[in-house]
Structure 1
Amino acid sequence: MAYNSVLFKRLEALYHTFDLSMLSPDPLEVVRRFSEPADQETAGLIAAVLAYGRVERIVYAVEHLFHLMDHAPYEFICHFDFERDGRRFDSFVYRFSRGQDIVALLTLMQQALRGYGSLGGLFAAGYHASDPHTGPALIRFVETLLDYPCPLYPDARIPQKAGVRYFLPSPRSGSACKRLNLYLRWMVRHDLIDLGHWQGISPAKLIMPIDTHVARISRKLGLTKRRQADWKMAEEVTKALGVYDPDDPVKYDFALCHWGMREVREGGGDPSDLVIEK
């Protein structure tokens, strides 16, 4: 994409306009209620994988889950016992995710914490600075989690159609992996919104989280010509935004996403008016 000075100024204006005061509604607001990095890291993955559907309902579902986890996600996961604690999630339903999917996820997260010390440790084990972006490390992260045994299933192997697999898509399949890229944004970037706990990962390597709002706006702004919101679109949009900030292309995600949500919710502001003739 060719550099457009007007678009750059508008993107920067949006970035500075959509600050922490405009976080709500967003699942990250729930994660930010925890003060300990270990809680934010574990809560972040749970909140991110549930980030599909209407944002207000996402926030409600995430709040309910953390209530079931005694508002201490890290400690709860570390000491989680399938026989003792699994039943408390029986009544949990969010769209097509069920309590057993959460139980499976917690079991996988617990094994990652025991094996690597943190979720960041697991991701770092598969990350190489020479990789073009975080995609290869995300593949390794997902495949490691899904390879762990899970007592919920026969032979402790996770079936191909198990709901927990929806939480953990892989770039290998061509999925945009919006929710996991969102989690990486929260964990890697550090500003007034994002948490920045994984300091060994370069923000320049992040891939844009592509949801319906960001995909629509990206097409209007000329950041992509692709119609399908898949991994290739995510790479294309990231590359286009990298023209304006090669060290941190994903920094515009929060503003573009919330601009898009506001457009749908309030009928305000067409993002195409960000661009004028070159």
Structure 2
Amino acid sequence: MNRQELKAFLDAKVEEYNQPGFIPNDPVCIPHEYTKKQDIEIAGFMAAVFAWGQRKTIINKGREFLALMGNEPHAFVLQYAEDDLKPFLDFKHRTFNSTDALYFLHFFRWFYERHESLEEAFTGSLGEEASMEARLMHFFELFFSLTDHPIRTYKHIPTPARKSACKRINMFLRWMVRQDDKGVDFGIWKTIWPDQLICPCDLHVDRVARKLGLIKRKQTDWQTALELTDNLKKLDPTDPVKYDFALFGLGVEERF
């Protein structure tokens, strides 16, 4: 199909899948259980970090982790005592274990004692025109700037510097930044713009995008995510990542 036909096809699929009915069976349901901005940020970040494997398991693990925080994640990270950390010693999701959990909590305390919103971790001293590549590299360096950070935890925070497609963190950023009237994405961050987002390039999105000619690159890495996003910008330059709904829905729900 030509570009006009592809746009019409994908726009229709965005309309079909970018709806409240998408929420309950997707990890985005985790932050949707909160209303306080900082709770949404922490819950969303953890749901995104856990987002590999079956969606049902991801959702269960996200809820389990947040239950250990009394379902008040922002208050917990600012107030926890040493004894409050003991339940996390038994937490595990795939390769994410207690060492990772304790460092994440340590970082959150350090960060939220100094900042109002996690958005600032992706902006820092970077200007408004900074690329998403620069923002993600800045975030990685900031996240592991504490002196006692465990090397093993690197695997849970992707960075373009390691050529990662950064699927999970790009998904989290979509949740926080995109703003429309559909109620799925939150749009609570205002200093990063939707046209700066990079499309989350997971297995399903990658497969469908290749089938539609939106990806030519053989491997799946950061450059692949950029290629896909650049092609989506040709369909909608102001909100290219809305097509994540279409590509993901086609892959998961329709086995396209």
**TM-score, structure 2 normalization:** 0.94
Alignment match, 2:103: 104
Alignment match, 2:138: 140
Structure-1 separation of matches of 2:231 and 2:166: 18
Alignment match, 2:75: 75
Would the alpha carbon gap of residues 220 and 139 (structure 1) be closer, same or farther in structure 2, given more than 3 Å must change? same
| Pairwise CA distance, 1:53 | 1.0
Please say if residues 126 and 141 of structure 1, whose CA atoms lie closer than 8 Å, have aligned partners that are also in contact.
no
Structure-2 separation of matches of 1:21 and 1:222: 28
Please say if residues 176 and 234 of structure 1, whose CA atoms lie closer than 8 Å, have aligned partners that are also in contact.
yes
The CA RMSD over aligned residues, in Å, is 1.6
Structure-2 separation of matches of 1:182 and 1:95: 19
| Pairwise CA distance, 1:126 | 4.5
Among 162, 166, 171, the alignment partner of 2:160 is: 171
Shift >4 Å, 4+ stretches: none
Amino acid at match of 2:139: F
Structure-2 separation of matches of 1:177 and 1:260: 19
Amino acid at match of 1:172: A
| Pairwise CA distance, 1:195 | 0.6
Question: Residue by residue, what CA displacement relative to the aligned partner does 1:28-56 show, whole Å, maximum 9, x if unpaired?
Answer: 11110111111101111111111111111
SS in structure 1 of the partner of residue 113 of structure 2: helix
Structure-2 separation of matches of 1:47 and 1:126: 27
Aligned residues: 253
| Pairwise CA distance, 1:84 | 2.2
**TM-score, structure 1 normalization:** 0.87
Please say if residues 127 and 137 of structure 1, whose CA atoms lie closer than 8 Å, have aligned partners that are also in contact.
yes
Please say if residues 3 and 244 of structure 1, whose CA atoms lie closer than 8 Å, have aligned partners that are also in contact.
no
Structure 1, unpaired ranges of 5+: 150-155, 271-278
Would the alpha carbon gap of residues 111 and 249 (structure 1) be closer, same or farther in structure 2, given more than 3 Å must change? same
Please say if residues 197 and 241 of structure 2, whose CA atoms lie closer than 8 Å, have aligned partners that are also in contact.
yes
Alignment match, 2:50: 50
| Pairwise CA distance, 1:3 | 6.2
| Pairwise CA distance, 1:109 | 1.7
Alignment match, 1:203: 194
Structure-1 separation of matches of 2:217 and 2:24: 30
Say yes or no: does 1:94 pair with 2:85.
Answer: no
Please say if residues 188 and 202 of structure 1, whose CA atoms lie closer than 8 Å, have aligned partners that are also in contact.
yes
Alignment match, 2:179: 190
Say yes or no: does 1:130 pair with 2:129.
Answer: yes
Structure-2 separation of matches of 1:159 and 1:32: 30
Please say if residues 11 and 246 of structure 2, whose CA atoms lie closer than 8 Å, have aligned partners that are also in contact.
no
Among 219, 222, 228, the alignment partner of 2:213 is: 222
Amino acid at match of 1:79: Q
Say yes or no: does 1:59 pair with 2:50.
Answer: no
| Pairwise CA distance, 1:116 | 2.3
Please say if residues 15 and 251 of structure 1, whose CA atoms lie closer than 8 Å, have aligned partners that are also in contact.
yes
Structure-1 separation of matches of 2:163 and 2:249: 25
Trace 1:155-166 onto structure 2 (pairs within 5 A).
Answer: 156=148, 158-160=149-151, 162=152, 164-166=153-155
Structure-1 separation of matches of 2:125 and 2:169: 15
| Pairwise CA distance, 1:27 | 0.9
Structure 2, unpaired ranges of 5+: none
SS in structure 2 of the partner of residue 184 of structure 1: helix
Structure-2 separation of matches of 1:176 and 1:102: 23
| Pairwise CA distance, 1:190 | 1.2
Question: Residue by residue, what CA displacement relative to the aligned partner does 1:158-214 show, whole Å, maximum 9, x if unpaired?
Answer: 243x1x212211111100011111111111111221111111111101111111011
| Pairwise CA distance, 1:258 | 2.9
